[in-house]
Chains A and B, each alone.
Chain A
Amino acid sequence: MPALARADLEALLRTKQLDRTLTTPAPAELPHLHDDFAVAPAGVPALDTALAGGFPRGQLSEIVGSPSSGRTSLVLHMLAAATARGELVALVDALDRFDVASGAAAGTDVDRLLWIRGRVIERPGPCREANHRALEQAVQALALVLHSGVFGLVIFDIADAPPQTLRRLSFTTWLRVQRMVEGGHTACVLVGAEHLARSSAGLTLQVKGGMRAFAGFDMEARIIRARDRDHEPLCVSVSATCV
């Protein structure tokens, strides 16, 4: 009887022209035919292909890497790609490290970029409390920007922030940020030296790279713990020009 039942079911599926639905795997997603309303493309084709379109919107993602690994170049490229799409973007720059000339040279439409300059300093000395307040202020600014929901891409740059200052943040901080960004069309990206926080459906992009004497990067990006994504290291070769 089970064999007969199976034959009946297959005949029914054939009649309804659904016979390949359950047996054929879904076609692989064509590169670059992604939905711009679901992801924010980074603007680097190799990376976007590996990320299935780009950084997911409505999620908290992160780009981590050591100094000179190319994370800022990647961020500027993302900002340029987003502004080229006509989106408004925001950069919460906790340590005030953004170089306007680099941003303009990367092709960012600076009119569409809201730059929020933080007051965190690398060497707080005896003013550690002030530094902690400044970082909390930057997080509050990030919360305001995310709450408004008007930006397509929001970058929170805390690379180079003193680790002890980061550790003093409340452990619920990133959870609250995740909650704020969820469900919206904003792609929120943290930029840091090490893994800090990520939404469950967000992604962490670990960037390893090497400067070639200010003439370019060989960037290796590894996607970490993203659901249903390839965990293999992804090598992206990026040529660069110096400003």
Chain B
Amino acid sequence: MNRFACLYLPPASDGSLPNPAQLLDMADAYSPRAEQVGNDLVVFDIKGLARMFGTAEAIGAALRRDAVTRGIEAHVAIAGTRVAALVLARARPGPTIVAPGDEAAALAPLPIEALERLVPSDPLHDFTRILTSWGVRTLGELAAMPSADLAARLGQTGRLWQAMARGEDRRPLVPRRPEERFEASLDLDWPIDGLEPLSFVLTRLLEPLALQLERRDRGAAVVHVVLRLVSREIHQRSLQLPSPIRDARTLRTLALLDLESHPPAAAIDRVTIVIDPTPGRVLQHTLFAHAHPKPESLSTLLARLGALMGSDRIGAPAALDTDRPGAFAMRPFRTDWSVAPSHPRTSAPSHPRVCVVSALRRCRHPVPARVALQDGRPVRVTTERSGFEGGGVRTCTGPWRTSGDWWTRGWNHHEWDVELSTGVAYRIFHDRDRGGWFIDAIAD
């Protein structure tokens, strides 16, 4: 059988604002399941307290005494439903004790206004005024109205008002959870210099944190590694994880890889790990497709590749909205892939010809070339660069003029596509601003 107690802090005579922490502290002394409703109302679950205090009246008296001891002028109400306790606490100083099942009778004599602030407001309707105009003045009269007719006239909000007038709960108590801090630190007897000993320390700190995250169904969104150095400087690194991770070994590897690229300047004498939590992932796998890799695996791989090649050299390519030849951008590679979509096996076309885009191999730094012209068209292309064949031009198309970004020393080219007698095809251009011919790409 559920029992709820409610503490209400009425407005002070001097107009000072209530301190919500006082009520919460008091509620926490009795139950871990407490919900705050505004700054002046706290409702909490007292189921099971009878074994400690005895009857509900004894619990109410104990609450009242405790409130006086703490210097709080609080109203106290105990009822079988959350709503009844809330309404009665606001209406009477108490302690008001309602036996289970008697909530509606206890609420019946109270005026309609007792429900205000406890139900969601409707900007279009002033329910108190409407009900008063109908002659409904008490919660008992509201509870006695036919539900269907009330809903027809006032909608779902009207039904909610009536349910509250009857002392019925439309939702369970939602306990307030204190903000849990995922932090661990370790003072070292002897300063450590180097990443290998640090990895043991990180493991020792991260394993309990990972366990704590798992218990709360949370993952790490950001990992802050704070190192206090012997020089009294603080070396702090923050790892933004692309997806929630709570595997201690993965987190340790990522932290170490980051510290490899950004090592501390001196030996370390205190290590602190702070984790910003985020809700964990929920994955549904399928039997008919390859499962995508875990974000932990991909994050670790990307961190290792970034440490090896440089973080600017890895990622997912993206085309830019520009006409600049060969322009591109690098974006971080996604790691939070869901399950691969199952793809229907498509039947092959009956003819062997397929449409393939002829690809270019870009020279990031255009290769200087010598181009012989005849009637304004290239007839021979040669270059001193090894690996690039030269020769007479068999066919060519062009020129295409392309230019842009003139305000930032952009490009101004005449482009040609040439096929040499050797079979090699190049995209070459003539730089109109600086002069000279260059090989921009190889068609392959």
B337 to chain A: closest residue by CB: A88
Query: Which residues of chain A from 59 to 114 have any CB-CB distance to chain B below 8 Å in the complex?
Result: 66-77, 84-88, 96-107, 110-114
Known: A68-B424, A72-B361, A213-B419. A114 touches B314 (CB 8 A): yes
Q: Please tell me which stretch of B57-65, B94-102, B277-285, B325-333 contacts chain A, meaning at least 4 of its Cβ atoms lie within 8 angstroms of it.
A: B325-333
* B287 on interface, CB distance cutoff 8 Å: no
Which of B301, B313, B357 lies in contact with A241, CB distance below 8 A? B357
| A46 to B351 alpha-carbon distance, docked (Å) | 8
Query: Which residues of chain B from 176 to 206 have any CB-CB distance to chain A below 8 Å in the complex?
Result: none
Q: Which residues of B contact A102 (CB under 8 A)?
A: 357-360
Q: How many residues of B contact A (CB 8 A)?
A: 63
Contact A160 B361 (CB under 8 A): yes
A186 → chain B, closest Cβ, in Å? 11
Contact A217 B354 (CB under 8 A): no
B342 to chain A: closest residue by CB: A86
Contact A145 B301 (CB under 8 A): yes
* A220 on interface, CB distance cutoff 8 Å: no
Query: Which of B318, B333, B364, B388: most chain A CB closer than 10 A?
Result: B333
| A148 to B359 alpha-carbon distance, docked (Å) | 29
| A48 to B363 alpha-carbon distance, docked (Å) | 31
A135 → chain B, closest Cβ, in Å? 12
B306 → chain A, closest Cβ, in Å? 10
Contact A73 B358 (CB under 8 A): yes
* In the complex, per-residue mask of A176-199: 1 if CB is within 8 Å of any chain B CB, else 0: 000000000100000000000000
B140 → chain A, closest Cβ, in Å? 63
Q: Which residues of A contact B305 (CB under 8 A)?
A: 116, 141, 144-145
* In the complex, per-residue mask of B315-335: 1 if CB is within 8 Å of any chain A CB, else 0: 111110000001010100110
Q: Please tell me which stretch of B34-42, B288-296, B369-377 contacts chain A, meaning at least 4 of its Cβ atoms lie within 8 angstroms of it.
A: B288-296
- What's the interface size class on A, roughly? 35 or more
Q: Which residues of A contact B342 (CB under 8 A)?
A: 86
Which of A67, A86, A145 lies in contact with B290, CB distance below 8 A? A86
Q: Which residues of A contact B341 (CB under 8 A)?
A: 86
Known: A68-B424, A111-B334, A213-B417. A45 touches B316 (CB 8 A): no
Q: Which residues of A contact B359 (CB under 8 A)?
A: 72-73, 75-76, 99, 102-103, 106, 243
Known: A84-B343, A116-B309, A214-B417. A240 touches B314 (CB 8 A): no
Contact A70 B444 (CB under 8 A): yes
| A116 to B315 alpha-carbon distance, docked (Å) | 7
Which of A144, A149, A211 lies in contact with B423, CB distance below 8 A? A211
* In the complex, per-residue mask of B426-444: 1 if CB is within 8 Å of any chain A CB, else 0: 0000000000000001111
Contact A85 B352 (CB under 8 A): no
Q: Is the interface of A mostly helix, strand, loop or mixed?
A: mixed
A161 → chain B, closest Cβ, in Å? 9
* A140 on interface, CB distance cutoff 8 Å: yes
Known: A86-B341, A101-B319, A116-B314. A141 touches B386 (CB 8 A): no
Contact A238 B314 (CB under 8 A): no
* A152 on interface, CB distance cutoff 8 Å: yes
Q: Which residues of B contact A72 (CB under 8 A)?
A: 359-361, 444
Which of B293, B317, B397 lies in contact with A98, CB distance below 8 A? B317
* B297 on interface, CB distance cutoff 8 Å: yes
* A122 on interface, CB distance cutoff 8 Å: yes
| A162 to B364 alpha-carbon distance, docked (Å) | 16
Q: Is the interface of B mostly helix, strand, loop or mixed?
A: mixed
| A36 to B297 alpha-carbon distance, docked (Å) | 23
* B308 on interface, CB distance cutoff 8 Å: yes
| A91 to B300 alpha-carbon distance, docked (Å) | 18
Contact A106 B356 (CB under 8 A): yes
| A211 to B356 alpha-carbon distance, docked (Å) | 13
* B148 on interface, CB distance cutoff 8 Å: no
Known: A45-B349, A160-B387, A211-B425. A114 touches B297 (CB 8 A): no
Contact A241 B355 (CB under 8 A): yes
Which of B317, B362, B395 lies in contact with A115, CB distance below 8 A? B317
| A76 to B444 alpha-carbon distance, docked (Å) | 10
A84 to chain B: closest residue by CB: B343
* B304 on interface, CB distance cutoff 8 Å: yes
A115 to chain B: closest residue by CB: B317
B329 to chain A: closest residue by CB: A100
* In the complex, per-residue mask of A123-134: 1 if CB is within 8 Å of any chain B CB, else 0: 100000000000
* B385 on interface, CB distance cutoff 8 Å: yes
| A108 to B340 alpha-carbon distance, docked (Å) | 16
Contact A88 B308 (CB under 8 A): no
Q: Which residues of B contact A237 (CB under 8 A)?
A: 352-353
Contact B361 A214 (CB under 8 A): no
Contact A73 B356 (CB under 8 A): yes
| A211 to B292 alpha-carbon distance, docked (Å) | 38
Q: Which residues of A contact B318 (CB under 8 A)?
A: 100, 110
Contact B317 A106 (CB under 8 A): no
Contact A115 B330 (CB under 8 A): yes
B280 → chain A, closest Cβ, in Å? 21
* A239 on interface, CB distance cutoff 8 Å: yes
Contact B333 A140 (CB under 8 A): no
B361 → chain A, closest Cβ, in Å? 4
Contact A243 B358 (CB under 8 A): yes
A148 → chain B, closest Cβ, in Å? 4
Q: Which residues of B contact A99 (CB under 8 A)?
A: 326, 359-362, 441
B351 to chain A: closest residue by CB: A45
Query: Which of A101, A112, A140, A237: most chain B CB closer than 10 A?
Result: A101
Query: Which residues of chain A from 18 to 65 have any CB-CB distance to chain B below 8 Å in the complex?
Result: 31-32, 36-37, 43-46, 48-49
Task: List chain B positions with a Cβ less than 8 A from chain A.
Answer: 289-290, 292-293, 297-298, 300-301, 304-305, 308-309, 313-319, 326, 328, 330, 333-334, 337, 340-343, 345, 347-349, 352-364, 367, 385-389, 395, 397, 417, 419, 423-425, 441-444
Apart from the given pairs A141-B309, A144-B305, 14 other A-B contacts in the complex at a CB distance below 8 Å: A66-B423, A68-B423, A70-B444, A72-B360, A85-B343, A88-B293, A96-B364, A97-B363, A99-B360, A100-B318, A113-B316, A119-B313, A211-B423, A238-B353
8 pairs across A/B with beta carbons < 8 Å?
A45-B352, A77-B354, A84-B343, A85-B340, A86-B342, A101-B326, A122-B387, A150-B301
